[in-house]
Amino acid sequence: MAISDLDLVQAWKDVLALCKLTSGEQVCLLASDDSNRQVIETARIAIGQMGGILTILTLPPLNGDVALSRDKSGFVGKTALKGNAPALAALKASDLVIDTMLLLFSPEQEAVLKGGARMLLAVEPPEILLRMKPTAEDGRRADIAAARLGRACTLRVTSKAGTDFRCAVGQYPVLRQKGFVDQRGGWDHWPSCLVATWPNEATAEGILVIDTGDILLPFKRYAREPIRLTVEAGFIRAIEGGFEAEFLRSYMDSFDDPDAYAMAHVGWGLHDRAHWTTLGLYDREATIGMDARSFIGNFLWSSGPNNEAGGSRDTPCHMDIPLRGCSLSLDGELVTVDGRVI
Ligand SMILES: [Fe+2]
């Protein structure tokens, strides 16, 4: 359903206020060919009304010929900033960067953040942005979860479907997404609310069962039968089941990259306006699936790169797989029970 410009301008102003945008700050709006025009136009107005000094930076699209789908989150290779010194300089000179093209997992993004700019990713369509617009309460919930995860040494996940997974944590930083970014050098994503970290090297072990109805991203499909994955010493060593397992295995094999099978971020969803069902109601190209990634109580695990956490793996193959009905514990203390945050 269409969203009025007025509502989206107001939503931007609310989010930019949470981002502590102040008059006179340098704001860079990063766009590309597939950026949503209404998102950009309304952001321009909101930034202007709040006194931000606006630069709009349009970069060419990239990776379309090598990605295996049109999903922006499905291929995480080099970005349009690679080798583009003027664009990088503009971003580094900004106080706030709003990314409507999706620059995940790049050394260039790390350089921008290290320079002190704060970055907010916003690539979902207007109606999803509005429904899942962040609040201060989302920030509080994510902060509490991130602090608990930050103290943890071990993470274990079980489910009635057969998942029994464990890993040591603490080697890599905690990823906290709350939907807005209010700290120098911070990065966040509107709309999101989740926490995660990366397993310590070679410690992820056990069984992950993707049950019927669980979601595979970037496939943007609900599994129609269980898939059983065996994880040993940090890597997925077996993917078993029927057609769904064969499809997943074949997709990951197509990258011809052993790092595609590494376990990547693990954590849980905290967004109470995100829904497991949303993906089933949408055209698959109309969303990147933030409902699926962040619905409250999911166990979101992933495979592939860990370079944005400071690791060495930069494979472009990245699966995000939110499981329902899991119980997640940190050092033996439960934080979710059967898919409910406690
Ligand atoms: Fe991910």
Res. 217: pLDDT tops 90: yes
- pLDDT at 66 > cutoff 70: yes
The 8-class DSSP code of residue 128 comes to: H
Give the pLDDT band (50/70/90) at residue 107: confident
* Predicted pLDDT at 189: 97
| 320 Cα to the center of ligand 1, angstroms | 5
Q: Across residues 246-257, what is the average pLDDT?
A: 97
Burial class (CB in 10 A: 0-12, 13-18, 19+), 137: exposed
269 alpha carbon to ligand 1 midpoint, in Å?
12
Q: Is 89 within 8 Å of 68 (Cβ atoms)?
A: no
Give me the percent of the chain exceeding a pLDDT of 70. Answer: 98
Whether 200 has a pLDDT exceeding 80, the answer reads: yes
Using a pLDDT cut of 90, give the percent of the chain over it: 86
Does the pLDDT of residue 275 top 80, yes or no? Answer: yes
* CA 24 to ligand 1 centroid distance, Å: 34
| 8 Å CB contact between 28 and 55 | yes
> How large is the average pLDDT for residues 205-211?
98
Label residue 339 by pLDDT band (50, 70, 90).
very high
For the record, the structure tokens of 207 come out as 């069984």
pLDDT of residue 75: 66
The per-residue pLDDT for 182 is 97
Which range (154-163, 182-191, 240-249, 306-315) has the least confidence? 306-315
For residue 73, what are its two tokens? 């989150």
Q: What's the confidence (pLDDT) of residue 163?
A: 98
Q: Which residue has the tokens 């989302």?
A: 138
Confidence of residue 17 (pLDDT cuts 50, 70, 90): very high
Give whole-number Cα distances, 53 to 13, 22, 87, 117, in Å: 15, 10, 17, 14
CA angle 201, 210, 267 (to 5 degrees): 45
Structure confidence at residue 77 (pLDDT): 64
Per-residue pLDDT, 74: 64
CA–centroid distance, residue 45 to ligand 1 (Å): 31
Tokens representing 266? 């693990």
pLDDT at 307 over 90: no
Sort 153 into a burial class: Cβ within 10 Å, 0-12 / 13-18 / 19+.
Answer: exposed
What is the Cβ-side half-sphere exposure of residue 51, based on CA atoms within 13 angstroms?
7
Q: Is the pLDDT of residue 69 over 70?
A: yes
Q: What is the pLDDT of residues 109-127, one digit of tens each?
A: 888 999 999 999 999 999 9
Q: What is the pLDDT of residue 309?
A: 87
Q: Is the dihedral of CA 315, 90, 181, 33 positive or negative?
A: negative
pLDDT surpassing 70 at residue 89: yes
CB-based contacts of 250, cutoff 8 Å, min separation 6: none
3-class DSSP assignment, residue 60: coil
pLDDT digits (tens, 9 = 90+) for 125-137: 999 999 999 999 9
Residue 44 vs residue 316, higher pLDDT:
44
Ligand 1 center from residue 265 Cα (angstroms): 7
Taking the centre of ligand 1 as the mean of its atom positions, its distance from the CA of residue 105, in whole angstroms, is: 10
Rg (CA), the chain: 19
Nearby residues for ligand 1 (ion, Cβ within 5 Å): 302, 320
CA distances from 6 to 13, 53, 140 (A): 11, 21, 28
In this prediction, residue 71 has a pLDDT band, given cuts at 50, 70 and 90, of: confident
How high is the mean pLDDT of the chain?
Answer: 95
Across the range 213-227, mean pLDDT stands at: 97
The dihedrals phi and psi of 241, each to the nearest 5 degrees, come to 150, -150
**Cβ(174)–Cβ(195) under 8 Å?**
yes
Tens digit of pLDDT for each residue in 24-34? 999 999 999 98
Residue 120, phi then psi, degrees to nearest 5: -125, 120
Element (H, E) at 101: none
Q: How far is the CA of 6 from the centre of ligand 1 (A)?
A: 32
For residue 76, the model assigns a pLDDT of 65
Q: Ligand 1 centre from 294 Cα, in Å? A: 11
Q: Quick one: tokens of 43?
A: 């952001």
Q: How far is CA 234 from CA 169, 178, 200, 266, in A?
A: 12, 27, 8, 12
Q: % helix / strand / coil in the chain, to the nearest 5? A: 25, 30, 45
Q: How far is the CA of 4 from the centre of ligand 1 (A)?
A: 31
d(CA 240, CA 317) in angstroms, rounded, equals: 19
342 CA from centroid of ligand 1 (Å): 24
Distances (CA, A) of 219 to 79, 225, 247: 21, 15, 10
